[in-house]
Structure 1
Amino acid sequence: MSADDVNQFIKTNRRVAKQVETFRGHSESDKHWAARREFLLRNMSEFEGEGQMDRLLSLSIVWTNNKFLGCQYSAELMERVNEMADGIEVEDAPVFKTRDEMVKQQRMSFGIA
């Protein structure tokens, strides 16, 4: 689903789009929200039933926290949300490095093995 597909879906499914808009966080930037909204719209059909929307919302937040803030979660959880987000393109997403990666890079720049 591309950004154009998302916009087309929103235009043709006003009720669903209106419901999804209620899930936007107050401090969520337009870029974060666009990505998370696409995540929600792509996966809503898999999370129908009582309590399932809360589960989907939690997974969408896990995915955006990892993508935009660099938060880390279990490998199993990250595999799940990355599968759910497969194909979502995020422009200018930050790149995060672990402390170990930064130390290794510093050592290499000073010629320390």
Structure 2
Amino acid sequence: MTRPPHEPATCARGSSGSPPPSPRQKLDCELAATRKVINGLALCDHGPVSAETTTATVYQRIVTTFNEHPEKVFRVRDLHEHLVLPTDEPSINVTRSRLGRLVRQGLLEQPGCGRYQKRT
């Protein structure tokens, strides 16, 4: 009986009564292990994302938005609607803090109260 090409050969190490695995069997075992790792990584992509990654992603989305629209002046609520972020008051306040940091870092400017624009 032959095994399908996607099924690995048995990965048993040579025990006292059996011959050691052939180079082909070793290669099959390594490929099977690699396949398991890749499949595990692919499944992890759909898992929960850490808060640090989420924060970095939101910052990147904000900066990208201002880079794509350098002349546009955004209010925080407009920015939330543009990025399809929640518009509840706590979320808006978090974004205000983020925008304030970006202003202090020199990436954005504040041409008016509550308005933000890419620094030119």
TM-score by length of 2: 0.25
- Give the structure, 1 or 2, with the largest relative contact order (CA under 8 Å, sep 6 or more): 1
**Structure with the bigger percentage of strand:** 2
TM-score by length of 1: 0.26
**Structure with the bigger percentage of helix:** 1
Answer with 1 or 2: which has the greater Rg. Answer: 2
